[in-house]
Amino acid sequence: MPRPGPRPRERISPVSHRIFLWGDGTRSYFPTDAVHANQDAALEHWRQAGVRRLVWGECWRFKVPRAAECFDNISNTAQSILWSAWGYKPKTYCFPLPEILAALAGDVQAVADFRREDREGAQQIDDFLDLFLADLGIVESEARRVESEVRPVGTGGQVVCRPRPEIAGHGYYDGRPGVPGRVSG
């Protein structure tokens, strides 16, 4: 007789808007979270009135909810490239400012395209999109600052690149405390 093993966990919660923070709504990190059976059902949920707003409000500043990447084609590539430049690099390292600026132009264009192609969806989160665009401006100035400060370190033939932690996403789009550079008004 086989030994009884752990019982499979049942999905006990209804589908929550929070699954859109880190996924497309069809999977979750937590086995008890309910998810949608397919992307069509997830997209239908994403497009319901108020869902985008709830998700963006709970998203960290300088970030984009994963569902917004999947369904609205909003990107945050420039910050990812900037963060990949963090740390000690070989002496021959060339800071990727041109690549960051090109990605930044693409990120800004993605917001413009979303606003043009899905006016109703964009109107739900227009203030959050404005904050995200302001965050992208900070990413640009930070990339320019870091590029100007790349310098040799010690005698090991390395250089150091140090973006400031503020672009890591402290605080939320909905304005909860801890949001550096919060746009008010």
User: Which DSSP category does 65 fall into?
Assistant: -
Q: Which helix (H) or strand (E) holds 151?
A: strand 151-153
Residues 120-137, mean pLDDT to the nearest whole number: 95
Higher model confidence: residue 33 or residue 156? 33
Residue 83 confidence (pLDDT) = 85
- pLDDT at 6 > cutoff 50: no
- pLDDT at 88 > cutoff 90: no
Q: Which of 5-9, 49-53, 138-142 has the lowest mean pLDDT?
A: 5-9
Residue 163 confidence (pLDDT) = 65
Q: How far is residue 173's CA from residue 87's CA, in Å, rounded to a whole number? A: 28
- pLDDT at 16 > cutoff 90: no
| Sequence letter at residue 183 | V
Residue 123 is encoded by which pair of tokens? 């109107």
Q: How far is residue 137's CA from residue 135's CA, in Å, rounded to a whole number? A: 5
Residues 109-129, mean pLDDT to the nearest whole number: 97
Instruction: Label residue 15 by pLDDT band (50, 70, 90).
Output: confident
Q: How far is residue 104's CA from residue 37's CA, in Å, rounded to a whole number? A: 34
